[in-house]
Chains A and B, each alone.
Chain A
């Protein structure tokens, strides 16, 4: 590895049409095209995907782990927001 490391990219893969892209991992690349190629060669060798997104890790705005309580806990005691009162039809996998 050189001292000057290439920027980090996050890789998102859509495994088949109709599903959404999911985070697969990250790679280093010098530019966007190289990132796309590296993602293809690293994460789709065994037919894992039909579409790839890459984005510079530095461009991602993430929630602060220290604020987890303020961010997420208020939703937990509001059960009326959760669709838990419906029966799931058999055979529905991606809901």
Chain B
């Protein structure tokens, strides 16, 4: 059932009813209003200790009504999609407006929303036996891969989200998006030394692109990572050159560039990049892009949480020069800039805020092998587990999970996980080589901001940073 059919037939959310709700929301005045109704169906399966311990499903359904008056936002949400529930939410949201009606009549017309995530076999339709087969394949292949494997945990989660958005500007948009996450985590043990390795895959796609073979490959990769860590030595401490492997290292851009370029932080002068469009803020090797349009990637969207359809990548930094911000409608209007389709919301209970989609550093021209060769002593980071930034201060961290020493241009001993810290602006200036091997990671990254979680994508080619502080032990 399409999103339009679902909301009209199951809940009576016809254009006429949505127009009535918008009119009610703006009865006290206000510059803008929107209605966001959502139905999400989650399925999850969890295997540990060789036992598929649980299968569960959850339905999250609700509607949020928003009224914007100047810089002020009134918001109300409810699980009750009946007319009385919706009108009640509209009145509550509208209570922020106090200056008489400006919009009296809304005429909705449907907008074209692309489908970037065609799913021939929507996961929620199963058969669930196919998912179970992949989970079991991962478990078996992890256990067969190495005798030191002590514990294997496999998790599958999928989500089928249907949305309708109606705005006082007259847009009516329907959207259906799939999402799945498959993750394997293993514990290996040798003479009392216990280590964990993990791999995950997160895509907006159907079951047709997943298989027991793929699950088994991810499981073997997780085991290889864990057994490598059995040999790991404590990481060094202090400033040194860093080489980032392609893929997950894109967390660096997410923290150091992405968050500080969200429009709300800049509008409020809460970012080190506030008011600096047109300035050189990074090494000229750096071009940073946020791209919601990549097919099937986890950070991609068909439309944002305000019914805006992003149609092209947003260039944030071009050859080191700051070009623009990640905008939602509110910030774009207040900053007199164009929206970029980054007004995302976690769910119906949350107001849209500027968020990243898939954020990555564009490919450069350096040979990855030459980049490594140029480092006499440093750290090579292959996998990251996350990061955090304080946008106003510019300090950010990111945490290595799998890393190695570089000695005389060669990757040598594995080192234990450690945190790297730097000032975003210094690190961006200190990017001294960028490889031609861009890789968009397919891991299940989630970004947290103001209590809202959003699926995102990260990516980077091989990158050399002249120096960063490594939080090791020796």
A and B associate: no
